[in-house]
Amino acid sequence: MVQIVVFSFAGIMGKLDEYSTCPGFREDYMQKLQIFVFKLQDSFKLALLRNPSHQADMVPEDQVGPGVALSPPLVSSDAYSALELWESRFRGKMRLFWWQLLSWRQGRQRPETMGFSKSDSITQDLVWRIEEILAGRILSEQRLAGLLRQEGFWPSDISRALDRAVDGGQITQLPGFIKAPWGQHVCSRCQGEYVEKAPCLRCGKGDCLRCVTCSSMGEHRACSTLLALQHTQRMEPLERIKPQLKLDYDLTFAQQQASKELLQFWQDGQGKALVWAACGAGKTEVTFALIQRALSAGGQVLFAIPRQDIVREMTERLQAAFPSVTVASHYGGQPWFAPGKLVVATTHQVLHFYRRFSLAILDEVDAFPYQGNEMLRFGIQRALLPQGKLVEMTATPNVRREYKRVITIPARYHGFPLPEPELVVSKLQPWGAMEANDLPHQLVDNLQGAQGPWLVFAPTIAACSRLRSLLSQALERPVGLCHSKVEHRAAVIKQFRDGDLDIMVTTSVLERGVTFPGVGVIVLYADHAVFNVSALVQIAGRVGRTAKAPRGTVLFLASRLSASMKQARQLIQELNREARERGLLTSEETP
């Protein structure tokens, strides 16, 4: 539990000597915060300071008398809880009583070390450097101080500059945790409520709160202090900053329509749009004109993607499309301060940004880990400027009514309809008990006379391994295996791509981001919970992606028809209907 410091009359009288000073900064010491109150002409001002000597920088012009210490040095979350209590006291009817009592006590026992002069204040250069680093970011004080130390700044100067910048409203300071009205502790970094108590080496407490929700981003404690600064969008003449957009190919008619709708969405000032695109329809390219428009207006753009490997690929694509723009890549293991007006990042890295982007594009919004993750949704919203625009892209929209504008790209570039899944109900033995002669004939018949490559999807690693063994026996030929535990997975995929293997049993690791020309897919145990609507649509989307092989077979095999199987087919059929109505199926009218 975060301890809220409540002072009784006797406690205040007995402990003010202890509160009037705090230890200086040591590199291995957790910076604590101490509450001070200053009397102005008509009111009171309360402030949190890292060192009492910084009072000289906080003295308002209309201050009456010296500041008074209200607390001992406290860890961040405790300091903010105590500050809330003291603020309520100095807003209440007894505020003059509190001031006179505290002033009398401190004046009677004031230590000599409290006499500080503003002539000791640090240069403004360090405050400006802090603003430069923080612009559009939210960082822990430890991370910021570590960078400044590497640049040669002294700890005492860093501490003083932070107090000055916070007091002047130049940067925002947040405690590690805040206490919600219902008593729950909420992490200031991710808004998570899953916390645990554990000993802390930094503050020395045995029960310091630790956020479990965002622990993958590095440890975040109740004693942590967060510092943030909103990015200031600088407007420059259009001809000086308009980036060149370079594409080596033409957009399809459907892509051109979607691109124009996104530009209209920007012009209309709507906050949130959905791009619903068929798998392989080229949804990424339709955002390029919108990115150019946002950059031309002096803004910064975020392109967020769930997977790290796609971040690297997307960085290269965007750099090729915008050769005059610095594209920054943010994912685990990369420098967090990489500069760039166009940022490509994994969804987890978005938690490091603060009111920075005028436009955010979130790809594969239906995919893990973003889907259903409130922490990442919060991170995306906080990364946007207050009037920033959000574009989400998916092949499987869950809720369409929450968007101001829904833009569809229902057809692929080659003009053929999307292959529609065939739903087959067949009694399947549990994979642990299945033998070769138990394999459904629909599976064996399709694979027996295979002329092209086939992907057979199974719900678990154990199921994959068993089915691979059984298919090798039944078909009397090699069958590939691909899942997250397979060593040299890239080499196995290359064998399949090169034609050395024509059948691959796989988990959902190959449901997205891969193209195998002429491939057919069979999903076994398609009614399993792991095969939700999104996964099934993506798996079906592996088929018919190229102009040389625009058709193919998609088979969902299960012991029963699940709701996800039916909804996945309905979504694909809906896109095909819209594509026909809009005249986008230029190569063939029927599947």
Band of residue 98 on the pLDDT scale cut at 50, 70, 90: confident
In-domain check, residue 53: yes
Q: Indicate if 210 and 289 belong to the same structural domain.
A: no
Q: Are residues 32 and 104 in the same domain?
A: yes
CB 439 within 8 A of CB 471: yes
Coil/strand/helix, residue 436: helix
- Please report whether residue 252 resides in a domain: yes
Q: What pLDDT shows up at residue 369?
A: 65
Tens of pLDDT, residues 284-312:
999 999 999 999 999 999 999 887 778 88
Residue 173 lies in a domain: yes
Q: pLDDT class for 364, splitting at 50, 70, 90?
A: confident
Q: Is residue 416 part of a domain?
A: no
Q: Residues 222, 252: one domain?
A: no
Residue 3 lies in a domain: no
| Domain count along the chain | 3
pLDDT at 399 over 60: yes
134 and 20 within one domain:
yes
For residue 113, pLDDT over 50 is answered with no
Which residues, other chains included, contact 369 with Cβ-Cβ below 8 Å and sequence gap of 6+?
A: 306, 347, 348, 376
Identify whether the C-beta of residue 222 lies closer than 8 Å to the C-beta of residue 30.
Answer: no
Residue of higher predicted confidence among 248 and 564: 564
- Rounded Cα distance between 350 and 335, Å, is 14
Q: Residue 41, class by beta-carbon neighbours within 10 Å (0-12 exposed, 13-18 middle, 19+ buried)? A: exposed
User: In terms of DSSP bridges, do strands 503-506 and 454-457 run parallel, antiparallel, or are they unpaired?
Assistant: parallel
Residues 205, 348 within the same domain? no
| Neighbouring-strand partners of residue 353 | 137
User: Do 270 and 364 share a structural domain?
Assistant: yes
Residue 109 reports pLDDT greater than 60: no
Q: Given a cut of 70, is residue 118 above it in pLDDT?
A: no
**Does residue 242 sit in the same domain as residue 219?**
no
Residue 544, pLDDT > 90, answer yes
Residue 550 CA to its chain's centroid (Å): 35
The residue from 229, 264, 289 where one domain ends is 229
100 confidence band (pLDDT: 50, 70, 90): confident
Residue 195 lies in a domain: yes
Q: Taking residues 341-350, report their average pLDDT.
A: 90
418-422, 457-461, 488-492: range with lowest mean pLDDT: 488-492
In a domain, 47, yes or no: yes
DSSP H helices in 26-123:
55-58, 76-91, 95-108
Q: For residues 214 and 87, state if they share a domain.
A: yes
Residues 372 and 443 in one domain: no
The dihedral over CA atoms of 177, 181, 182, 186, expressed in degrees to the nearest 10, equals -20
Query: Given a cut of 70, is residue 589 above it in pLDDT?
Result: no
Distance of CA 213 to the CA centre of its chain: 13
Q: What is the DSSP string of 258-325?
A: HHHHHHHHHHHT-SEEEEEE-TTS-TTGGGHHHHHHHHHTT--EEEEES-HHHHHHHHHHHHHH-TTS
Task: Report the SS3 class of residue 554.
Answer: strand
Q: pLDDT tens digit string along 260-292? A: 999 999 998 778 999 999 998 989 999 999 999
Report the CATH number that the domain containing residue 485 is assigned in CATH.
3.40.50.300
Cα–Cα distance for residue pair 123/146, rounded to 1 Å: 19
| Residue among 329, 310, 343, 314 nearest 512 (CA) | 310
Closest CA to 54 of 75, 33, 40: 33
Among 409, 433, 466, the domain-final residue is 409
What is the C-alpha separation between 314 and 568, in angstroms, rounded? 27
Burial of 357 (0-12, 13-18, 19+ CB in 10 A): buried
pLDDT band at 233 (very low <50, low <70, confident <90, very high): low
Is 590 a member of any domain? no
Average pLDDT, the chain: 85
Higher-scoring residue by pLDDT: 512, 416: 416
Mean local confidence (pLDDT), 395-409: 80
Please identify which residue in the block is written with the tokens 């600064």.
Answer: 229
196 touches 210 (CB < 8 A)? yes
Q: Which of 229, 246, 261 is the last residue of a domain?
A: 229
115 and 221 co-located in one domain: yes
Residues 559 and 532 in one domain: yes
Q: Which domain holds residue 562?
A: 422-581
Asked if residue 67 and residue 177 are part of one domain, the reply reads yes
561 vs 236, higher pLDDT: 561
